[in-house]
Amino acid sequence: MLHLMCIQRMLDIEVLPFRTHPAVVHAQGYQPYKPHWAPIRDAYYATPASRETLPPDLTIVTCNNGHPAMGCFERSLRHMGLECGVLGHGVSPWINSRDKPDLIARAARRCVTGFILYADSRDALLIQPPQLLLGRFKACFNCDLLFGADRLSYPPNPTWKSFEDNLAGAAHSDFKYLNAGTWIGRTQFVAEFFEKASRWKPFSSAPESEQGIIRDLLPWAGSRVAIDYRCDIFLNVGFLVGHRIRIHEAQGHPK
């Protein structure tokens, strides 16, 4: 149950088809089709810096080996007065399919909090306080690990696409497919899931992508893994065109 305590959103993005207000924005992929990204990023940094408090049962992590392109997510946290655990510093060459699952599994085994939030360092922003995000996950989702939803099925694989097309929530959303760049989960299952992923064979047509591994594990995971079809917590803005979102001024919101 959500406590009716008013806290301040840093930036309020409304996803119009669902009237939801995601807390993490992700500009996924090495492609230019993300027209909403720059306006959201600029609006976020136009808000006053704040000093938020990390909930005692939440750990935030990302992967960043020190490449100059990294650090976007960490900067968004610093705008709230927050820091996160950074995995993979100095790892070179970096391979997502090898390094991300292994490092996340190891970190989860060491983690002492009940929940872990992850977002890609290169192209994600936390735009709402973490206590709001965690409260929403606890109140609205009956799963152990929740991934952001994408409009694009990647890597292309007809078996995975068909499986995800036929999941219950996909029928009512254009955001049908798992994206591994943002997630939140219960720590014990995060460790179990990513340990399995670290031993899984990468997809042959995208051997460096951990997303293929994770999508291949969905039938094994069953209902313990879910996709955020309504963008309640995560919004992937890649390939999102047209007037599907609205940027509002920051406002109080019930936690």
Domains and CATH numbers, the chain: 6-254 (3.90.550)
Cα(129)–Cα(8) distance, integer angstroms: 8
- Minimal CA–CA distance to 239: which of 175, 144, 155? 175
pLDDT at 250: 60
This prediction's pTM: 0.94
DSSP state of 37: H
DSSP state of 9: -
- Edge-to-edge order in the sheet of strand 24-26: 124-126, 24-26, 234-236
For residue 56, count CB atoms less than 10 angstroms from its CB and return exposed for 0-12, middle for 13-18, buried for 19 or more: exposed
Specify the 3-state DSSP secondary structure of 227: strand
CB 76 within 8 A of CB 37: no
Q: Find all residues with CB under 8 Å of 197, minimum gap 6, and list them.
A: 101, 105, 210, 213, 214, 217
Give 59's strand partners.
Answer: 116
> What six digits make up the tokens of 75?
């900067």
Residues of the chain with confidence (pLDDT) below 50: 1-7, 252-255
Encode burial over 163-177: b for 16+ CB neighbours within 10 A, e otherwise.
bbeebeebeebebbb
CA distances from 22 to 11, 54, 84, 100, 150 (A): 10, 18, 20, 24, 14
Cα(246)–Cα(181) distance, integer angstroms: 22
> What six digits make up the tokens of 84?
């996160």
Q: Find all residues with CB under 8 Å of 83, minimum gap 6, and list them.
A: 74, 77
pLDDT tens per residue across span 30-78: 878 899 999 999 999 999 999 999 999 999 999 999 999 999 999 999 9
pLDDT at 241: 83
Q: Find all residues with CB under 8 Å of 65, minimum gap 6, and list them.
A: 88, 89, 90, 91, 92, 94, 99
pLDDT at 30: 81
